[in-house]
Amino acid sequence: MSRRLLLLLAVTCGVAVGNIYFPQAVGPLIAAGLHVSPDEATLVVTATQIGYTLGVFLLVPLGDRLPHRRFLVTLLTLTGLGLLAAGCAPALPFLVAASLVVGVSTVAAQVIAPLAAGLVADDRRGAVMGTLLSGSIGGMLLARAFSGTLGEWLGWRAPYLVASAVVLLLALVLARTLPLTAPSSPPSRASYPALVAASLRLLRTEPELRRSCFYQATVFAGFSAVWTCVALLLTGPRYGLGAQAVGMLALVGAVTMLCTPLAGRLVDRAGPDRVNLVSLLGVLLSAAILTAGSAGGAAGFAALTLGTVLLDVAMQSGMVANQSRVFAVRPDARSRLNTAYMTCAYLGGSAGSWLGVRIHDRAGWGGVCALLALLAALALVRHLAVPSPSRLRERQPR
């Protein structure tokens, strides 16, 4: 894989993933613009994540069958049209429906990851996954900052319309530059129902896939709860800030882009289990730091900044470890493996967003941080108490 191709794929991942996250920063603006409550406006975020989960489950398995270039260009075109419809939405129900379409189609990053895994040697897979994830993180962070700032200036519709133009332009670039498919990934002859069913079968039969799914689903649920509710905290009476502050807080997490390639190299050298352990401990520590954010003022905002950065780094480093483990299970079924993994992850994320808002209503910001800590603790107990198959093999005498 050339550096130029890897860079293009990383940018594509960033643009696709950014479409999931930028509504988090403009939720209060949507509420004001469409004359609904802030809690109702969070349905846009939830619909996007639910749509993404459906897209991963229903569309990503086709990456094992269809030519990658045609598939990716089609997905990006549908995403661009969905964003355009969302930007023109006259009311919240229409916006929620358009957000669902955007979520379903903006799964390009999950098609690219198996494609890239088939283009590199096994001992470089972690590093390449880290680079692609770094692009996804950049898209996630820049999307929040971009949408918060642009939304403050031009209204909540502007981020959707600009994102639509960017996605459609990228589809044109990929149509001209991307190889048809990975040479080491021959297309599957299985029917579409068989491809979808294979993801469920792999989840049932592969223990390494199941535990990777559990780690990511729990941590991502807490991550989504925090980032959905931090907008409510910052724009509420405790801080009284605008949507731009949410985007700037997310932008501080750009340090995560530097950490995920490092995490990938550590996975290549030390294995995914050790990286998972450190990542889960980091999530627990971030929950403790984030709790201080409820105090408000400069000290509270500093705690929010440090806590969200640590949460981002820990969650994404765990993602690198989990995906490296998953892609080593069955090289001939990487898209289907990734379908099972990412479906579980985003089911957790969708549940976390929904649950986080309810807990915030009843227990405030402290309740959201407690939810994050509980979910990370569940994953850590699983990691420590139940030996993985790989660790059991290492203990067997030779």
* pLDDT of res. 397: 45
Q: Average pLDDT for residues 15-30, to the nearest whole number?
A: 84
Contact 303, 239 (CB under 8 A): no
Q: How confident is the model at residue 221 (pLDDT cuts 50, 70, 90)?
A: very high
pLDDT digits (tens, 9 = 90+) for 107-153: 988 888 777 766 666 666 667 777 787 788 778 777 877 887 788 88
* pLDDT of res. 236: 81
Listed ranges 150-154, 179-183, 216-220, 339-343; the one with the highest mean pLDDT:
216-220
* pLDDT of res. 45: 84
- The pair phi, psi for residue 89, each rounded to 5°, is -65, 130
Residue entry with tokens 């990487």? 334
pLDDT digits (tens, 9 = 90+) for 344-394: 887 898 889 889 989 998 999 999 999 999 999 999 999 988 666 555 454
End-to-end CA distance of the chain: 37
The long-range contacts involving 303-306, CB below 8 angstroms and separated by at least 24 positions, are 304/230, 304/233, 304/234, 304/249, 305/249, 305/252
Contact 51, 148 (CB under 8 A): no
Domains in the chain, please, with CATH? 3-387 (1.20.1250.20)
State how far the Cα of 322 lies from the Cα of 307, in Å rounded to an integer: 22
Contact 160, 85 (CB under 8 A): no
Which secondary-structure segment (H or E) carries 42?
helix 38-58
Amino acid at site 287: A
- Among the ranges given (22-31, 45-54, 58-67, 185-194), the one the predictor scored with the smallest mean pLDDT: 185-194
Q: In the predicted model, what is the mean pLDDT of the chain?
A: 84
Q: How confident is the model at residue 79 (pLDDT cuts 50, 70, 90)?
A: very high
Residue entry with tokens 């619909």? 47
Query: Higher model confidence: residue 389 or residue 77?
Result: 77
| DSSP-assigned states of every residue in 259-287 | HHHHHHHHHHHH-HHHHHHHHHHHHHHHH
* pLDDT of res. 70: 86
CB proximity list for 146: less than 8 A, separation 6 or greater: 18, 22, 159, 162, 247
State how far the Cα of 49 lies from the Cα of 98, in Å rounded to an integer: 12
* pLDDT of res. 184: 47
The dihedral over CA atoms of 265, 267, 271, 273, expressed in degrees to the nearest 10, equals: 150
* pLDDT of res. 23: 83
* pLDDT of res. 77: 95
Report whether pLDDT(25) > 60.
yes
Residue entry with tokens 């398995």? 61
State how far the Cα of 266 lies from the Cα of 324, in Å rounded to an integer: 11
Query: Higher model confidence: residue 190 or residue 289?
Result: 289
Q: Average pLDDT for residues 35-58, to the nearest whole number?
A: 85
State how far the Cα of 237 lies from the Cα of 35, in Å rounded to an integer: 19
The SS3 assignment for 318 reads: helix
CB proximity list for 289: less than 8 A, separation 6 or greater: 303, 306, 307, 310
CA-nearest of 83, 77, 108 to 26 is 83
Q: Average pLDDT for residues 205-225, to the nearest whole number?
A: 93
Q: How confident is the model at residue 244 (pLDDT cuts 50, 70, 90)?
A: low
Amino acid at site 294: S
pLDDT digits (tens, 9 = 90+) for 163-198: 999 999 999 998 888 766 554 455 567 778 888 888
The SS3 assignment for 180 reads: coil
pTM over 0.85: no
- Among the ranges given (48-57, 105-114, 126-135, 313-322), the one the predictor scored with the smallest mean pLDDT: 126-135
* pLDDT of res. 349: 86
Q: Average pLDDT for residues 205-227, to the nearest whole number?
A: 92
Q: Average pLDDT for residues 310-319, to the nearest whole number?
A: 90
